[in-house]
Every structure is written in C-alpha cells, then in structure tokens.
Amino acid sequence: MRLISKEMFKKPNNRLEGELEPSKHVHAAVQESVAYTCPECKTALEKETLPELDYMCPRCGALFIMAARERLEWLVDEGTFHELDAALEPLDRLQFPEYAAKLKKAQRDSGEPEGVLTGTATIDGEPCALFIMNSTFIMGSMGAVVGEKITRLFEYATANGLSVIGYTVSGGARIQEGMFSLMQMAKTSGAVLRHGEAGLFYGVVLTHPTTGGVVASFAMEGDVILAEPKALIGFAGPRVIEQTMRQKLPEGFQRAEFLLDKGFIDRIVPRKDQKRELAQLLAMHRRDSTR
C-alpha cells in the first residue's frame, strides 16, 4: 500500500473555488409527446421509461424535474397512497394584484389545487405519513395551504404514531400571501416539534431547489436530512447573495455537496437508492424496533 500519493499534495478540494460541475438539474419543459428529450444532452428517451430510469438521464446523469404526483407514483408502493386534505384550495386573502389569475394558471398547468401532496402510504412495505412538494406549482412556494397541509399531516402522524417522510422543493415564501405565508414557518415548526416530542421519526429529502422560508423551517428540522445530488439548498437565493456581496458566487456554493461538507445534511442519496434508504430508515425507527 502506498502511504504517500500524489493526491496528498493536490490542492484541497475547496468547493468555494468552484470545482464542482455545474448542476445537472434541469427544468423539463412540459412535453406532450411520448418522447422525452433530455434537456441537457438532448438524448431522446421514451416518456414511459422515465420511472424505471429514476428520472435520470442514462447518458449524462441529468436529474429530471419530477412533478409531485410523478414522484409519488415512483416512490410509494402501488395502491397504498391515501391522500389527505386533497380538496384544500388557496385563498387570495390579501387580494394581491394578479394573484387570483396566477393561482388559476398554476392549477391549470400543474393539474393540482396547491403546491404540496400529503397522505399516507407504504415505501417498500414500511408505512409512513408523506408530503411531497410540487415545484410545478408557483415554484413550490409556501402559501397558507402548503403550511396548513403539512401541519395537518404532522398532526395526523402524531395522533396515529406514524413516521413522516417529506420531499421539499421550494423557491421560498409565496409573496402574494404576505404574512400568511411567513407565519406558516412558525406553524409547521410547531407541528414538527410536537411530532418529535411524541418520539416519532421525521426524515426529509431536500430536492432542487429548496430555499427561503422552507429551509428556515421544516426542511432543516428533520431527524435525518437527506438531499438529492447537486440540489441547490440555501436560505437566500444565489442572486440575492450576489447582489448583497457584489461578487459572483463560486460554483458549487449552496449545492448539496457543499452542505454535506459544512455539516448541515446527513447524506446525499441518488434517486435509485432513495426508496431503499427511506424504507430502511423507517424500519429502523419502527416503534416495535426501538422500544
């Protein structure tokens, strides 16, 4: 075994200096046909093969954006999902200019009434309460319904002794809901706290991008915090920081790998391993296995 290698004299892998590759995350345009073109390397794929490819380009490794319901179907055991609060509709409490039209458009484009799906399901046979945020609904921003549904889910899980698994994706607050949006951070944090006080497990998977008020609340409150490779995760968006600091941000800044290095997340888990790892974590925190 060679104790001294060339590697040791290389410059340390300082991620602030931009050694990470640029993000492979891409916004998949809504494509109507049966074909799907990788937005990054332009490889032609068949849409129906995407779930078995774990929504990852087999050629270049790009991770495709998954709508919440796509992720749900990909993640949970078939036929086990029971949705909660499916009918909750957003309100335009502030009568914010153009918000009503924006909501209608988001509902039409996403086919969902709001930006998060909640319910119960099993993952590889392990039961849990589950929330999956939806980037296709006003960038997964946290309106009152998002906060309310997540709060209700944690309360349901607490009452029924269930672990919670959450997938986050969020551009931050829902500006058009003003303080009603901000207060969801406190509300959800209270529900997470109570769930934890009942001795129950909460595992969260941060996906690209998870920012703003969601990072400053339930995204960072998991007992175990996982992230997808190269996901952008941060309190302030990179553009805001660039403006504040008046300097260009180094590449790799605020990516999952950077957070792992800084000690803020537990593991980075590729999509192909997520189902297995989540099921394993759920099994390890099953009530009958721990007491």
Partner 1 sequence: MMTAYERVQTARQKGRPTAMYYIEHIFTGFLEMHGDRRFADDHAIVAGIALLNGLPVTVIGIEKGVLTEEKISRNFGSAHPEGYRKALRLMKQAEKFHRPVVCLIDTSGAFCGIGAEERGQGLAIAENLMTMMGLKVPIISILIGEGGSGGALALGVADRVWMLENAVYSVISPEGAASIVWKDAAKAAEASTALKMTAEDLLGFGMTERVFSEENGNFETVCSTLHNALAQEFSELLALSPKELTEQRYNRFRRIGGDEQ
Stretch that binds partner 1, among 74-82, 158-166, 190-198, 283-291 (CB under 8 A): 190-198
Check residue 236 for interaction with partner 1 (CB under 8 A): yes
Task: Count CB neighbours of 68 within 10 A.
Answer: 24
Nearer to partner 1, 132 or 265 (CB): 265
Residue 144 binding partner 1, by CB under 8 A = yes
Site for partner 1 in 43-102 (CB under 8 A): 87-91, 93-94, 96-98
Binders in 207-226 for partner 1, by CB under 8 A: 212-213, 215-221
What is the spatial distance between Cα 232 and Cα 56, in angstroms, rounded to a whole number?
17
**CB under 8 A: which stretch of 34-42, 66-74, 137-145, 159-167 binds partner 1?**
137-145
**What is the nearest approach in angstroms of partner 1 to the Cβ of residue 195?**
11
Which element (helix H / strand E) includes 227?
strand 224-227
Least distance from partner 1 to the Cβ atom of residue 59, Å: 32
Nearest to 134 by CA among 156, 163, 104, 112: 112
Distance CA 44, CA 78 (A): 28
String marking each residue 249-268 x if it binds partner 1 according to CB under 8 A: x---xx-------x-x----
Neighbours of 43 (CB within 10 A): 14
Contact call for residue 198 and partner 1 (CB under 8 A): no
Nearest Cα residue to 131 out of 91, 163, 174, 176: 163
Nearer to partner 1, 179 or 284 (CB): 179
In single-letter form, the type of residue at position 207 comes to T
Count residues contacting partner 1 (CB under 8 A)? 60
Pair of tokens at residue 103 = 């909501």
> What's the one-letter identity of residue 73?
E
Distance (Å, whole) CA 101 – CA 97:
9
Q: Scanning residues 148 to 177, which ones bind partner 1 (CB under 8 A)?
A: 148, 151, 173, 175-177
